[in-house]
Amino acid sequence: MNFDFADQTPKLMMLLWGLIAFAVVVGGLLMLLDAVPAFFARRREARFVAASASGAPPRRRAKPREGLFALFFLLPTVLLLMIGLVVPALRTTLLSFMDGSSQNFVGLDNYRWMFADDAIVRVLLNTLVWVTLVPLAASCMGLLYAVLVDKVRLEAVAKSLIFMPMAISFVGASIIWKFVYAFRSQEQEQIGLLNQIMVSLGGEPRQWLLDSPLNTLLLLVIMVWIQAGFAMVVLSAAIKAIPADIIEAARLDGVSPWQMFRQITLPSIRPALIVVVVTISIATLKVFDIVRTTTNGNYDTSVIANEMYNQAFRYGQNGQGSALAVFLFVLVVPIVIFQIRNIRQQRREA
Amino acid sequence: MAIFARPRQALAIAGAIGLALSATACGTGSSSNGGTSDADSAECAPYETYQGHDGKTVTIYSSIRDIEADRLAQSWKQFEDCTGITVNHEGSGEFEAQLPVRVDGGNAPDLAFIPQPGLLQRFAERDQVKAASAETKAMAEANYPADWLKYSTVNGTFYGAPLGSNVKSFVWYSPKMFQEKGWTVPTTWDDMIKLSDTIADSGVKPWCAGIESGEATGWPATDWIEDVMLRTQTPEVYDQWTTHEIPFNDPRVAEALNRAGTILKNDKYVNGGFGGVRSIATTSFQEAGVPITAGNCALHRQASFYANQWPEGTRVAEDGDVFAFYFPAIDPAKGKPVLGGGEFVAAFNDRPEVQAVQTYLASGEHANSRAKIGDWVSANNKVDLANVANPIDKLSVEILQDDSSVFRFDGSDLMPAAVGAGTFWKGMVEWINGGDTASVLQGIESSWK
């Protein structure tokens, strides 16, 4: 197929317009954020100058205006949060007590369905598998890697190799791995890495993604592949932040590398480790792209987010979809609370 | 932190951008419509009844994309020129999921081409779709078989005429290969099984199949079941099945599944070049038939639109590289059941210009205008066979216009989406992947409320 620029002119024009609009809106906002505080600062400065010139102490009348000033910055955020988060969340909760057409109240039926339907229970179990294994595996691998490459030659290169999958979108990564798992019959040339390895070792090619529960584990590998880089970067930074004198003192005490890891490194990076686990846990609970791209939830691999999309948008079962969304929300809340408490505690210690 | 050191400089930059913006706005704002035909000319005579809406715009949303969308736009070009109505068509691969979102969100298109009567019914029950005008209804009744109009009628209200159609009861094969090997096109189910055995004995896997289709994985298998169901049961039982008057796990449905399974789940028969039975689940339906051209399999049951899927340079003709025969009936004496599909033009607005477009799309003028451009089938009985070039399309139109054929719409499209586009698809994937008939059917039945 030929690509004709003339044919695409309307689309390209649209793109240009989008770029211009982006520049204007973002530029305007930045300017506003720059100009307004500067304006207030100048006024305050002028007041101080005037006050010091007259010799009288500066008046403390500025409070209400400061409040107004804060409101000016707060209002857009609050408004956007209301429109984008609070109202939809309330509406979704309301819809989860209604039927598929969002017209009649059905009480707790949707929640009952969620735990009674074998297929959905399977979905919940899969999500459980994901959320227990992925943060664990990704953090462990990230930590291991961070410790191993710490202060070795070409550390930056080694780290960027692991970090690179982070830059790939979930869908992109899923497509890459779909090829790794690809299957061709024995007579044909294999296009999948995994099956090629199998064949080279004298085995038979397999359809990796069709067998439960192996397929869920294989999909999970994709998520770990993406997230291990993130864990590694954060943990590596935390390791480097351990004060040198502590390490030196430990060395002088003659610790083994293992003792060093257990008694110095691990306790020192504990806060960073918690941040990593929590962040990956939340990302894992919401996983959707990987499952949808590779198996579309078939062969018993579906997870909550994927099923929620299917129910609400494809099957027209708004109530059941909303119930799944609310359940997902409920699952995320304790993790978030834990995280907030953790941060507060750290602040108090600091 | 100050982003611009000097606010005045920043102001100047912003001003310049603003100026540039308004300048471009003037440049592109005036789009001209150069090729407008004279509304009173002779070639505009057929469009006289639709005139009087000059300058109005009608938006259409559908799942039709790329070259087919271009052809569609071309088919109503003359209409646009003569009536002054601008028709804006937007095709989307996520049509089925996005249309309800747009409708619920108050951003409905004026018209939508809905391929699932089940989805249309859902809109009708929530009063979101507008009833067709009297003119549209009269036009549709004059041009389409009563069978077809039934699918877009909900509780006695008619919501829109069909547009394009396809015939699904086809088996693709290679006439060249058949001639070389001395095989003949089967005309009954038993002949077809005998032929399959002959082919299997010659060392070639007789059937190719694939049901992978992204988000819609599983639909080609539902077509198989529906086609077999139409052949093992009467059309009445088929109707009871699609409307849930008989349970989904009725023994008669199980019988259809098992009969389809004698081909699809038979390792001796499938799956040419792709692997065993389970490879059907991961083979995309687009690729599934292609091994026919390499001689790796001989038969592929797929709809008329599969004509577009052959590799470039493949000649589709009765004596060419590939062609299709009618998926044979089990007892030809009972008539010629045909499974098919198509889209319906539903309106979400009842502005007069929208109704004019809706009526026009039901007319013979549009059907022929589209047919002339190529690769298109419609059940519209005004379609002149001389306008249909593609031999498979011609065969399809003949079947659709044949009085002896018993036409039935794709069952999964008639069912509620949660079943027809949900558990039925998923159930078929499970079934191919080794699930047994009874538990798969039980699973689908329990999801139908």
* pLDDT of the residue at B359: 95
Is B31 a residue whose pLDDT tops 80?
no
* pLDDT of the residue at B29: 36
B162 DSSP β-pair partners: B344
Structure tokens that stand for A61 in this block: 């009348």
Most B CBs within 10 Å: which of A4, A102, A114, A185, as the mutation test of the B interface?
A: A185
* pLDDT of the residue at A56: 60
B63-122 per-position pLDDT tens digit: 988 888 999 999 999 999 999 999 999 998 888 888 988 998 889 999 999 999 999 998
Percentage of chain B exceeding pLDDT 90 = 61
Question: Exposed, middle or buried by CB within 10 Å (0-12, 13-18, 19+), for A56?
Answer: exposed
Low-confidence ranges of chain A (pLDDT < 70): 1-3, 55-64, 350
Most A CBs within 10 Å: which of B32, B89, B215, B267, as the mutation test of the A interface?
A: B215
B220 CB contacts (<8 Å, ≥6 apart)? Answer: B209, B210, B211, B213, B285, B288, B302
Distance from CA of B290 to the nearest CA of A (A): 15
What is the Cα B387 distance to its own chain's centre?
20
Structure tokens that stand for B156 in this block: 């006695």
**What CA–CA distances, in Å, run from A102 to A92, A95, A106, B100, B416?**
10, 6, 10, 13, 16
Of B278, B426, B443, the CB nearest to A207: B278
Is B273 a residue whose pLDDT tops 90?
no
Residue pair B76/B369 in contact (Cβ under 8 Å)? The answer is: yes
* A16 contact residues in B (CB cutoff 8 A): 24
Residue B39: pLDDT band (50, 70, 90) is low
* pLDDT of the residue at B9: 54
Residue located via tokens 């993406």: A226
**What CA–CA distances, in Å, run from B360 to A21, B86, B136, B165?**
39, 13, 8, 17
Does any CB of chain B come closer than 8 Å to the CB of residue A48? no
A188-229 per-position pLDDT tens digit: 888 899 999 999 999 889 899 998 889 999 999 999 999 999
Query: What type of residue is B22?
Result: S
Helix (H, G, I), strand (E, B) or coil at B415: coil
**E strands within B74-136?**
86-91, 111-114
CA dihedral B57, B58, B63, B67 (to 10 degrees): -50
The span from the CA of A134 to the CA of A225, in Å, is 10
Helix ranges restricted to H, B246-310 = 251-264, 279-282, 285-288, 291-294
Question: Exposed, middle or buried by CB within 10 Å (0-12, 13-18, 19+), for B204?
Answer: middle
- Chain-wide mean pLDDT for chain B? 87
A253-281 per-position pLDDT tens digit: 999 989 999 999 999 999 899 999 999 99
The span from the CA of B402 to the CA of B338, in Å, is 10
Written in H, E and C, the secondary structure of A124-188 is HHHHHHHHHHHHHHHHHHHHHHHHHHCCCCCHHHHHHHHHHHHHCCHHHHHHHHHHHCCCCCCCC
Of A20, A30, A317, the CB nearest to B3: A30
A190 CB contacts (<8 Å, ≥6 apart)? Answer: A182, A184, A196, A199, A205
pTM here? 0.81
Q: What per-residue string of b and e applies to B316-349 under the rule 16 or more CB within 10 Å gives b?
A: beeeebbbbbbbbbeeeeeeebbbbbbbbbbbbb
Structure tokens that stand for B287 in this block: 């690729």
Structure tokens that stand for B126 in this block: 């929530």
* pLDDT of the residue at A188: 83
Q: Do A187 and B214 touch (CB under 8 A)?
A: no
Does any CB of chain A come closer than 8 Å to the CB of residue B421? yes
**What CA–CA distances, in Å, run from A348 to A219, A222, A341, A345, B115?**
40, 38, 11, 5, 62
Structure tokens that stand for A228 in this block: 């291990």
Q: What is the crossing angle of helices B189-201 and B251-264, to 10°?
A: 30
Number of H helices, E strands in chain B: 22, 12
* pLDDT of the residue at A223: 95
The span from the CA of B407 to the CA of A31, in Å, is 66
User: Which of A250-264, B22-36, B258-272, B362-376 is the least confident region?
Assistant: B22-36
* pLDDT of the residue at A325: 94
The span from the CA of B277 to the CA of B243, in Å, is 31
Concatenated DSSP letters for B337-364?
EEEEEEEEEEES---HHHHHHHHHHTSH
Concatenated DSSP letters for A65-79?
HHHHHHHHHHHHHHH
Biggest alpha carbon–alpha carbon distance for chain B: 90
Question: Exposed, middle or buried by CB within 10 Å (0-12, 13-18, 19+), for A183?
Answer: buried
Of A23, A184, A207, the CB nearest to B17: A23
The span from the CA of B384 to the CA of B372, in Å, is 9
* pLDDT of the residue at A7: 74
